[in-house]
Every structure is written in structure tokens, then in C-alpha cells.
């Protein structure tokens, strides 16, 4: 009973998150300007973090948690560096 | 899947509800990112997923692993703390860069600034900001 509930809700949630990643990728590739692309990349990183967390719940292992933490940190650094490039034209001055 | 069979039904229902809520919020935020018209409108939508969406999925993860391992598993709070601290910083930097670029280009998409004049909120036109009229009014 509880296994069926979890399997189906995890399937639906992963489908939702995959669609969300597709929409973010659309914004990243088609964004009219550069800041739209950076925003799409940031949202893509966030949705990947959430997808990895649901994968960890599905497998019952805590190894996915560390991957999700690393992806969240990489997303932060990447977005800050890209925003700096948009602002000043270079990262390290 | 390991060990769901001996999991109580109430825990499975609670976990499923939080997971579905978090995934739906992330999807709604991404639909907003896809549909909204200007950049300054689009920048608001994904924050729905990055605050409440991540929070719901992390609560589901905490409930699931706490019930399954019969001891509290709260290291998910690390991700929640990290995302909560970093999202405003990144979006603030990004919007400042976008505003700088749009003003330098003379784009018409730039939203006007807001000031307080005699206790009321007033919207300043972007041309007034450029010519410095609003600075004289504040004096």
C-alpha cells in the first residue's frame, strides 16, 4: 500500500520536474537576451537539485543528497560569475 | 526501492503530499519563466520553486529518512539553508546587471524607480532618472 503510494507520487513528481527542466532549458536556449539565458541556467540547476533529491528518496540511499548539495553550490557559483560577466565584462579584475 | 513495505501508510501519504506539492511549485515557477513577457517579470517566477518548492521536497526527504531509519535525518537542512541564503544574492546580482545593461542600451523595458515623496509612493519615469530631475525633487 505505502509502496504503491510512494512509487506513483515519485513518478508524477519526477515527470513534473523533468518538464520544468525542459522549460528552463527552452529559456536558456531561446532567451531573447543574455540575462534570460543566465536565469534559465539558474532555474535548471535548481530543478536538477530537486530531481536528485526525489531520486534519493526513490532509491532510499543518502548518496544522492551529496550530489544535490554539490549541484546547488555549482549553480550558485556559476550564476554569480555569469552575472559578474554581464555587469563588468570580466570575472577577475 | 528498499524498505517501503514496512513503512507506515501515514508517513507514505505525508511524504507523497510534500513531494507532489514541491514538484508542482517548481513546475509552476518554470511555466512562469517560459510564459511571462519581460525579463523583469520573468525573474520573479522561478523563486516560487526555489523557496517553497525546495522546502517541500526537503521536508518530504526528512520525513522519509527519519521514518525509514527510525532516527532523525536532518542533514537536508544544509541544502535548505544554502538555497535560502544564495537565491536572493544571485538574483539581486543578476537583476542589477540586467538593469545596468538596459540603461546603458537605452532600452524601453526598464521599469521606473520608486521614491517616497511626502510619505506617498511615487513612480518616477526612467527619463527623469536619466536627466537627474528626481534628485532635485528630493531636496
- What local confidence, expressed as pLDDT, does residue B135 receive? 46
Would the pLDDT of B30 be above 50?
A: yes
Quick one: DSSP state of residue A52? H
Matching CATH number, A2-88, of 1.10.3470, 1.10.287, 1.20.1300, 1.10.10: 1.10.287
- Distance, in Å, from the CA atom of A10 to the CA atom of B73, rounded to the nearest integer, reads 20
- B31 CB within 8 Å of a chain A CB: yes
ipTM: 0.89
Q: How far is B90 from chain A (nearest CA, A)?
A: 6
B35 with B96, same domain? Answer: yes
- B83 CB within 8 Å of a chain A CB: yes
- Distance, in Å, from the CA atom of B52 to the CA atom of A19, rounded to the nearest integer, reads 18
B61 with B93, same domain? Answer: yes
What nine digits make up the cell of B17? 503530499
Give the number of residues written for chain A: 93
- Estimate the crossing angle of helix A2-30 against helix B9-35, to 10 degrees: 10
**Local confidence band at B68 (pLDDT 50, 70, 90 cut-offs):** confident
What does the angle CA B126 – CA B129 – CA B135 come to, to the nearest 5 degrees? 150
CA A69 vs CA A4, B60, B116, B129: distances in Å: 28, 16, 42, 42
- What local confidence, expressed as pLDDT, does residue B103 receive? 82
How confident is the model over A40-89, as pLDDT tens digits?
999 999 999 999 999 998 888 878 888 999 999 999 999 999 988 888 87
B133 with B77, same domain? Answer: no
B49 with B16, same domain? Answer: yes
How confident is the model over A6-29, as pLDDT tens digits?
899 999 999 999 999 999 999 999
**Local confidence band at A39 (pLDDT 50, 70, 90 cut-offs):** very high
What nine digits make up the cell of A73? 553550490
Q: Which domain holds residue B137?
A: 111-139
Are the beta carbons of B72 and B44 closer than 8 angstroms? no
Contact state of B7 with A2 under an 8 Å Cβ cutoff: yes
Contact state of A6 with B4 under an 8 Å Cβ cutoff: yes
Searching chain A, which residue's CA lies closest to the CA of residue B85?
A76
B81-112 in b/e burial notation, b at 16+ Cβ within 10 A? ebbeebbeebbebbbebbbebbeeeeeeebee
Average pLDDT over residues B88-108: 85
Quick one: DSSP state of residue B3? S
* Mean per-residue pLDDT of chain B: 81
- What local confidence, expressed as pLDDT, does residue B1 receive? 54
Reported in sequence order, the residue ranges of chain B that DSSP labels E, i.e. its strands, are: 113-117, 120-124
- What local confidence, expressed as pLDDT, does residue B126 receive? 55
Amino acid at each position: 500500500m505505502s509502496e504503491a503510494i510512494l512509487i506513483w507520487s515519485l513518478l508524477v513528481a519526477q515527470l513534473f520536474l523533468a518538464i520544468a527542466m525542459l522549460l528552463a532549458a527552452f529559456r536558456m536556449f531561446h532567451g531573447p537576451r543574455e540575462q534570460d539565458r543566465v536565469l534559465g541556467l539558474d532555474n535548471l540547476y535548481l530543478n536538477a537539485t530537486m530531481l536528485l533529491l526525489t531520486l534519493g528518496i526513490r532509491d532510499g540511499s543518502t548518496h544522492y543528497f551529496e550530489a544535490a548539495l554539490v549541484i546547488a553550490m555549482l549553480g550558485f557559483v556559476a550564476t554569480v560569475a555569469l552575472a559578474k560577466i554581464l555587469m563588468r565584462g570580466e570575472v577577475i579584475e | 526501492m528498499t524498505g517501503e513495505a514496512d513503512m507506515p501508510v501515514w508517513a507514505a501519504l505525508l511524504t507523497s503530499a510534500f513531494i507532489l506539492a514541491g514538484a508542482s511549485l517548481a513546475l509552476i515557477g518554470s511555466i512562469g519563466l517560459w510564459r511571462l513577457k519581460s525579463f523583469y517579470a520573468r525573474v520573479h517566477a522561478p523563486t516560487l520553486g526555489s523557496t517553497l518548492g525546495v522546502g517541500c521536497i526537503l521536508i518530504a526527504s526528512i520525513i522519509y529518512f527519519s521514518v525509514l531509519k527510525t532516527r532523525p535525518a536532518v542533514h537536508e537542512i544544509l541544502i535548505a539553508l544554502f538555497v535560502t541564503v544564495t537565491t536572493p544574492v544571485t538574483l539581486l546580482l543578476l537583476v542589477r546587471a540586467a538593469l545596468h545593461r538596459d540603461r546603458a542600451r537605452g532600452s524601453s523595458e526598464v521599469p521606473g524607480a520608486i521614491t517616497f515623496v511626502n510619505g506617498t509612493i511615487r513612480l518616477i519615469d526612467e527619463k527623469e532618472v536619466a536627466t537627474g530631475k528626481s534628485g532635485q525633487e528630493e531636496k
